[in-house]
Structure 1
Amino acid sequence: MDKVTSSTGSFVPSQSTATALPRRQVLRSTGIIAAAATLTGIFSTALPAHGASGHFQHGIASGDPYPESVLLWTRLTPEAVATPGSGLGGDARIRWDVAADSDFRRVVAGGWAQTGAWRDHTLKVVAAGLSPGTTYWYRFKFGQEYSPVGRTSTAPAAGAAVDRLRMGVVSCANYQAGHFAAYRHLADRGDLDLVLHLGDYVYEYAPGEYQARDIVVRPHDPAVEMTTLEHYRRRHAQYKTDPELQALHAAAPFVVTWDDHEFADDAFSGGAANHTEGAEGSWATRSGHARQAYAEWMPVRYETDGQLYRRLEFGSLASLSMLDLRSYRSKQADSQAGPAIDDPDRTMTGTEQIHWLLAGLGNDTQQWKLVGNPVMMTPVRIPSTLNAQELHALGELMGDGNIDGVPYNVDQWDGYVADRNRVLGHLRDNAVTDTVFLTGDIHSGWACDLPADPLTYPLTGRSLGTELVCTSVTSDNMDDILRVPERTASLSVESAIRALNPHIKYLDFDSHGFSVLEVTPAEVRMDWYRLADRTDAASPAQRTASWTVAAGTQKVRRTGEGILG
Structure 2
Amino acid sequence: MTPLDRRGFLRAGGAGALGISSLGLAAAGAHPAHPAHAASGTFFRHGVASGDPLPTAVIIWTRVTPTDEAGPGSGRGPAVDVGWQVARDAAFRRIVARGTFRTGPDRDHTVKVDVGGLTPGTTYHYRFLLDGRPSPVGRTRTAPPVNAQVAALRFGVVSCSNWEAGHFASYRHLAARGDLFGIIHLGDYIYEYAGGEFDAGGKVVRANVPAHEILTLADYRMRHALYKTDPDLQALHARHPWMIVWDDHEVANDAWSGGAQNHDPATEGSYAARLAASRKAYFEWMPVRVRAGGAIHRRLRFGRLAELTMLDLRGYRSRQESGLAVDDPSRTITGDAQMRWLKSGLSASVGRARWRLIGNSVMISPVAIGSVPAHLLGPLGRLLGVPAGGYTINPDQWDGYTADRRELLGHLHDGRIDNTVFLTGDIHTSWANEVPLTAATYPRTPSVATEMVVPSVTSDNIDDILGVPPRTLTLAAEAAVAATNRHVRWSELDSHGYGVIDLTAERVRMDWFALSDRTRRDAASSRMASFAVAAGSQRLTRLSTR
**What is the TM-score normalised by the length of structure 2?**
0.88
- Give the counterpart of 1:298 among 286, 290, 313: 286
Equivalent residue letter for 1:169: V
Match of 1:417 in 2: 402
1:251–1:349 CA distance, 2 compared to 1 (3 A): same
Displacement, 1:190?
A: 1.6
Q: String of CA shifts for 1:144-186, please: whole Å, max 9, x gaps.
A: 2100000000011111110111100000000000000110000
- Give the counterpart of 1:503 among 487, 493, 499: 487
Helix, strand or coil at the partner of 1:185: helix
Helix, strand or coil at the partner of 2:406: helix
- What is the RMSD of the two structures over their aligned residues, measured on CA atoms? 1.4
Considering fraction of residues, name the structure with more helix.
2
Matches of 1:304 and 1:193, distance apart in 2: 27
Matches of 1:524 and 1:336, distance apart in 2: 36
Gaps of 5+ in 2: 1-36, 373-389
Displacement, 1:131?
A: 0.3
Match of 1:402 in 2: none
Select the structure with the greater relative contact order (CA < 8 A; seq sep ≥ 6): 2
Q: Does 1:161 align with 2:149?
A: yes
Match of 1:360 in 2: 345
Matches of 2:413 and 2:156, distance apart in 1: 30
Equivalent residue letter for 1:536: R
Displacement, 1:206?
A: 0.7
Match of 1:516 in 2: 500
- Give the counterpart of 1:482 among 462, 466, 487: 466
Match of 2:115 in 1: 127
Match of 1:388 in 2: none
Equivalent residue letter for 1:373: N
Matches within 5 A, 1:394-543: 406-458=391-443, 460-543=444-527
Equivalent residue letter for 1:422: E
Matches of 2:126 and 2:255, distance apart in 1: 36
Match of 1:22 in 2: none
Helix, strand or coil at the partner of 1:341: helix
Helix, strand or coil at the partner of 2:338: helix
Displacement, 1:279?
A: 1.0
Matches of 1:486 and 1:250, distance apart in 2: 33
Whether the 8 Å contact between 2:392 and 2:400 is mirrored in structure 1 is no
Match of 1:382 in 2: 369
Matches within 5 A, 1:48-87: 53=39, 54-87=42-75
Q: Does 1:190 align with 2:174?
A: no
Matches of 1:454 and 1:520, distance apart in 2: 29
Whether the 8 Å contact between 2:433 and 2:451 is mirrored in structure 1 is yes
1:270–1:262 CA distance, 2 compared to 1 (3 A): same
Whether the 8 Å contact between 2:154 and 2:502 is mirrored in structure 1 is yes
Whether the 8 Å contact between 2:360 and 2:425 is mirrored in structure 1 is yes
Matches of 2:371 and 2:478, distance apart in 1: 13
Displacement, 1:255?
A: 0.2
Matches of 1:134 and 1:369, distance apart in 2: 23
Equivalent residue letter for 2:425: G
Matches of 1:65 and 1:428, distance apart in 2: 30
Displacement, 1:303?
A: 7.1
Match of 1:237 in 2: 225
Matches of 1:406 and 1:317, distance apart in 2: 38
How many aligned positions are there?
489
Equivalent residue letter for 2:365: T
Displacement, 1:407?
A: 4.2
Gaps of 5+ in 1: 1-50, 386-404
Matches within 5 A, 1:264-275: 264-275=252-263
Equivalent residue letter for 1:183: Y
Matches of 2:518 and 2:370, distance apart in 1: 30
Match of 2:106 in 1: 118
